[in-house]
Amino acid sequence: MTYEIWDLTTRNVAGCFRTKDEALESVRRTVERHGREYAKGFLLMSENAKEVSRSIAEGEDLIDLALASAVPSKPTLMVVKQQAG
């Protein structure tokens, strides 16, 4: 299975991904860098081994799906060594 993001304005493939999570991460980064308006023209599709494609989401629905599927970052514990004294 592969996942493709299409730019509906240019009718070009904007990216191909091995997993849906990778594709959604790309949409999230695009929204963070360029804003929602820029990403409204995207469509996410999947294609199976038989080259059968299906639409997953587009426009605002795709943006909402991408933002909702974000994995919260885990806090990192920082260890501080105290000097003896």
Sheet holding 42-47, edge to edge: 12-17, 2-7, 42-47, 53-58
pTM of the predicted model as reported, rounded to 2 decimal places: 0.78
Q: Give, for 58, the enclosing helix (H) or strand (E).
A: strand 53-58
Max intra-chain CA distance, the chain: 69
pLDDT surpassing 80 at residue 75: no
Given a contact cutoff of 8 angstroms between Cβ atoms, the answer to whether 46 and 17 are in contact is: no
pLDDT band at 77 (very low <50, low <70, confident <90, very high): low
Mean pLDDT of the 10-33 span:
94
